[in-house]
Chain A
Amino acid sequence: MKWVPVCDREAVPPEYGVAALVDGRAVALFRTAEDELFAVDNVDPFTGAGVISRGIVGDRDGEPTVASPLLKHVFSLRSGVCLDEPSTQLPTFPIRHRQGSVEIGLG
């Protein structure tokens, strides 16, 4: 696996999302209140719009989630599965924190 540094850790505020361009692909990065990092595809599978990073971060039964801002579908940040319609899923990416920088795993 190749780890690609994307941004400073501070560029992803707690319980907030940002989008990054990784290898030509839009990825949504999130940090929870417990300081866990998650990365999922930025494109909402229901609408085709690159908006997942702009959703509200929260939890459902303890599972960290993001709600797509367009039609409000809620996705698990761990698995990318849409909790409202489990047949739909967001691709997820490995993500880690290394020396003040956030890295995404590719390949």
Chain B
Amino acid sequence: MNRTLVIIGHGMVGHRLIEDVRTRDEAGTWHIVVLGEETHPAYDRVGLSSYLDGKTAEDLGLVTHEVATDPRVELRTGTTVAGIDRHHRRVTTTDGTTIDYDALVLATGSRPFVPPVPGHELPGCHVYRTLDDLDAIRAAATPGRTGVVVGGGLLGLEAAGALQTLGMDTHIVEMAPRLMPVQVDEGGGHILGRLIGDLGLHVHTGTATETIHAGEHGHVEAVTLTDGIVLDTDTVVFSAGIRPRDDLAEPAGLGRGPRGGILVDEYCRTGDEHIWAIGECAAVDGHCYGLVAPGYSMATAVAEQLLENSDTPFGGADTATKLKLLGVDVASFGDAHAGTEGALEVVYANNAAGNYTKLVLSDDARTLLGGVLVGDATAYATLRPLVGHELPAAPEQLLLPEGDGVGTGALPDEATVCSCNNVSKADITEVVTTQQAGDVAGIKACTKAGTSCGSCVPMLKNLLGECGVQVSKALCEHFAQSRAELFEIVQVTGITSFSELIDRHGNGRGCDICKPAVASILASLGSPHILDDEQAGLQDTNDRFLANMQRNGTYSVVPRVPGGEITPDKLITLGKVAGEFGLYTKITGGQRIDLFGARVEHLPEIWRRLAEAGFESGHAYGKALRTVKSCVGTDWCRYGVQDSVTMAIRLELRYRGLRAPHKIKAGVSGCARECAEARSKDFGVIATEQGWNLYVGGNGGFNPRHAELLATDLTDEELVRLIDRFLMFYVRTADRLQRTAAWIESFDDGLEHVREVVVDDSLGIAEELAEAMDRHTRNYTDEWSGVLEDPEKLSRFVSFVNAPGAPDPTIEFTEQRGQIRPAPVELPLPNVRAEQEVSA
């Protein structure tokens, strides 16, 4: 049975419906046709402002590769619907195309409200809603000039932040006597206004826009406010609220809500049993919601009905909000305006510190009904789930900074801890006590809690503690410290050996966990050759023999091929050496050539031959920089905009030999076509016409991750400096085996924190990090040569100490496709112990 679901509107909610239907529709009942008016497919509209701050439309995009290539989903962007023929169950688009449906869902969202001020249609007037709107604002904005935002609510402040990002001298005009009148009360609004003013924005409250004046050429020239103030400006942005897009309802004979919106029941059904409406265009029992979370719940409710799984009504919505607007924390939850009969308000305001907290309580002062937080919203995570429950402590204890606050222990089991993903306290304690999850990352994986806005992550940590999980940072039984702490100890004390470190700061004799970790720390801080003296015994077998141990105890040898560029002569040498020593050859994913099957006693001779031809160690064996992959760039490619090969070689040579908590891979693409797949690397560089964009935190492995944008339009020198700082900060502070992605996630503010430290130098350590990298680069020597020049080290490269030339009898090969492969070993299958990656 094949049925057609037509969704009108491809915004966040429409897209969620596609995902919900596709993940639940195991039988493949529904063919989905999505009609989106914008030319962009669904994107993160909540994160819209970041589009002016470095993110690209692609970064904000919500459509995964999986959905984009799903044969059951047909996505038509740039398509506007003209009408709905309910009788024939048919939708007609403005270009005359018709699509028949079995089920129709309206997810048309809302449009910005533009007050009918004289002059509101002049060129120079903008709205703030879509990527196209932002492109228009960016094109119009001139740094230093005055910009006016009409509307001081949530959206208005967002738009004001955008204009400020674009360098404009920004004015906010709000008709109500305070900013954010819907979410924040008078006291909170007062402090909010001051905090926003301190940021250099001009706030005009209790006044409206009277007229927008045109200049000689008909373009906006000035704005007059009702209090007589005239602002000279050529850019006006309306951000004064939204109205549901319900235009399709009336011509189709569908009901509308009293204040607009397509009227639906608690199941999001219209009067027509084949038509639903969800998101901001829907008036659920007459009420419209202007937030994405209720829209998501509506999408889920409709998906369940379409698949006849259940008839769960859309259960109303949590309209709590917590935002960081222009860097100022604002939160409001529950009955923030004390509308409940008999409600009591308890307020703590500190004008000097710039924060305001209000709790709304029931008439007996025992039950929390809601609250407002401005300036510091850290209490939001613990207070919001308490709404509707008895207070666990006296209100002043919850309000005052010196109070103990409220522990998660006070929360009832059914309290929602993560409202983005609707996860309760009981859901979380369940996965922790049954040992499905033992840390925050585990909770995220099992329940999705903390994976969206992240405001509940501190609570997740508390809950772990309450369940008796001690999140130990001890490296292993021999060291109570974390890797980052040991790094500091070694750096500050100048200790240069493992023995001394474990004698003074650890216990026992060490193990295969702490020894390589300390070896890596010593190497990062510039120790001599990694096989010197005691160091050799600390190394994992790969580092100990400067080659990768393979399944039968032989090794693979990978010489460095910077940027993947190699001369024909070097290629011939590789082939000759491989032929002579009977090695299996394979081109790796990192643009190099791997020679497999080398016996330990042959390694020095193989290196000698390779070194003579100009090769050096590629560190394929180490927790170190592996490769910097590149495309061919401007030299050969007709599309390239920068010389990616030269940059890749420069980066690979700069960071070769750098020891790190985990292996590091990188890529440089010469244009946005991204042939080097740079965004799947720990650091990836993509050329733009203005310079280089730097992405960080991508990886393959168990949990593949796309890298995220750290900085844009960099010069060569800026790029190298930022990567220096990024890598050195990672090397010094990450946990053992923690990849860059998990390391970034381990910070409460994630990438933002890394950006502050690396780009803005918030800790004042950027210079030191860069110098440390300079030092590393200056002191680099080839590790293979270090062995070849040292008879003592060479003497360890034997199969048997008492029979150096005798081959190991366990090594046997057979042949496959004209090359060697290890002979199968008859053994019961072992339990594979994969190296456990550390996650955030």
Contacts and interface: CB of A to CB of B under 8 A. Distances in A.
The answer to whether A and B belong to the same complex is: yes
B27 interface: no
B536 interface: yes
A1 B479 CA distance: 42
B442 interface: no
A79 B582 CA distance: 39
Interface in B537-566: 537-542, 544-545, 549, 551-553
B96 interface: no
Interface in A18-61: 18-22, 24, 26, 29, 32-33, 43, 45-51, 54-61
B832 A6 contact: no
Main secondary structure of the interface of B (DSSP, over half): loop
B800 A47 contact: no
Interface in A47-77: 47-51, 54-62, 64-65, 67, 69-74
A85 B831 contact: yes
Contacts of B414: none
30 contacts: A6-B802, A7-B801, A7-B802, A12-B801, A13-B536, A15-B534, A19-B799, A21-B803, A21-B806, A26-B810, A33-B499, A49-B551, A51-B541, A51-B553, A54-B549, A56-B515, A56-B537, A56-B538, A56-B540, A58-B512, A58-B514, A59-B508, A61-B477, A69-B542, A70-B549, A70-B551, A72-B512, A72-B833, A73-B830, A74-B512
A105 to B, nearest CB: 16
A11 B830 contact: no
Interface string B454-486: 000000000000000000000001100000000
Contacts of B552: 47-49
Contacts of A51: 541, 549, 553
Contacts of A47: 551-552, 825, 827, 830
B230 interface: no
Contact of A50 (B508, B553, B830): B553
Given A11-B801, A69-B549, A46 B830 contact: yes
Contacts of A13: 536-537
Contacts of A85: 831
Given A50-B809, A84-B833, 13 more contacts: A18-B801, A32-B509, A46-B830, A47-B830, A48-B810, A54-B541, A55-B541, A56-B511, A56-B539, A58-B508, A58-B515, A71-B832, A72-B512
A6 B551 contact: no
A47 B550 CA distance: 11
Nearest to A6: B802
B516 A50 contact: no
B477 A56 contact: no
A99 B499 CA distance: 28
B827 A48 contact: yes
A54 B808 CA distance: 13
Interface string B507-521: 011111011100000
Given A13-B537, A54-B544, A71-B832, A26 B515 contact: no
Nearest to B803: A21
Most buried by A among B553, B799, B827: B553
B446 interface: no
Q: Which 3 residue pairs spanning A and B have beta carbons closest together?
A: A69-B541, A48-B825, A67-B512
A70 to B, nearest CB: 7
B801 A50 contact: no
B835 interface: yes
A54 B478 CA distance: 21
Interface of A: 6-7, 11-16, 18-22, 24, 26, 29, 32-33, 43, 45-51, 54-62, 64-65, 67, 69-74, 84-85
Contacts of B803: 20-21
Interface string B112-142: 0000000000000000000000000000000
A29 B801 contact: yes
Contacts of A43: 810
Contact of B511 (A12, A67, A71): A67
B811 A20 contact: no
Contacts of B508: 58-59, 62
Nearest to B516: A56
A15 B803 CA distance: 22
B830 A71 contact: yes
Contacts of A62: 508
A22 to B, nearest CB: 8
A93 to B, nearest CB: 14
Given A56-B538, A65-B511, A71 B800 contact: no
Most buried by A among B499, B508, B801: B801
Given A7-B801, A50-B810, A60 B477 contact: yes
A49 B810 contact: yes
Contacts of A55: 512, 541
Contacts of A22: 802
A86 B767 CA distance: 52
A21 B826 CA distance: 23
Contacts of A61: 477
Contacts of B534: 15
A47 B552 CA distance: 8
A76 to B, nearest CB: 13
B794 to A, nearest CB: 14
A30 B415 CA distance: 58
A72 B515 CA distance: 13
A49 B553 contact: yes
Given A55-B512, A56-B512, A26 B800 contact: yes
A20 B801 contact: yes
Nearest to A69: B541
Interface string B777-806: 000000000000000000010011111001
Nearest to A29: B801
Contacts of A26: 800, 808-810
A32 B515 CA distance: 14
Contact of A20 (B512, B553, B802): B802
Contacts of A14: 537
